[in-house]
Amino acid sequence: MHEYSIVQSLLESCEEHARQNDSTNVTKVVVKIGVLSGVEPDLLQTAFDTFKEKTVCENAKFIINHQKVVISCLSCNTDSTLEKNEFSCPKCNSTQVKVIDGEDMFLMSLEMN
């Protein structure tokens, strides 16, 4: 379960941001997880809830935004969000596409007081 190591890194990042902003209490953590990231949202939530104790995130609400796959068609230069993992352009049906979003996980925002 690599979600545990991801949460450890996320909590370290939250601690650092809190320190830089003279805060000792993070109230909300928002992440974006791409459907192709390999991160399981439910396991990430469980890991966050488990490891946040005795950190600046102890009372934080954890928000997960799911990012669908976004492609750029190399044939017609159209960007599209895919509803299914069918990697072809919805406009021209070309399979000459490049994934431009939906493969990563990002810390989007923190709220502190």
Q: How many CB atoms lie under 10 A from the CB of residue 57? A: 25
Calculate ∠ Cα 61-110-25, nearest 5°.
70
* SS3 (DSSP) at 6: helix
- To the question of whether residue 17 is assigned a binding role by annotation, the answer is no
**Crossing angle of the two packed helices 2-20 and 41-51, in degrees rounded to 10:** 50
- To the question of whether residue 92 is assigned a binding role by annotation, the answer is yes
Give the integer Cα–Cα distance in Å for 53 and 6: 16
- To the question of whether residue 57 is assigned a binding role by annotation, the answer is no
- To the question of whether residue 76 is assigned a binding role by annotation, the answer is yes
- List binding-site positions for Zn(2+): 73, 76, 89, 92
- List binding-site positions: 2, 73, 76, 89, 92
- List binding-site positions for Ni(2+): 2
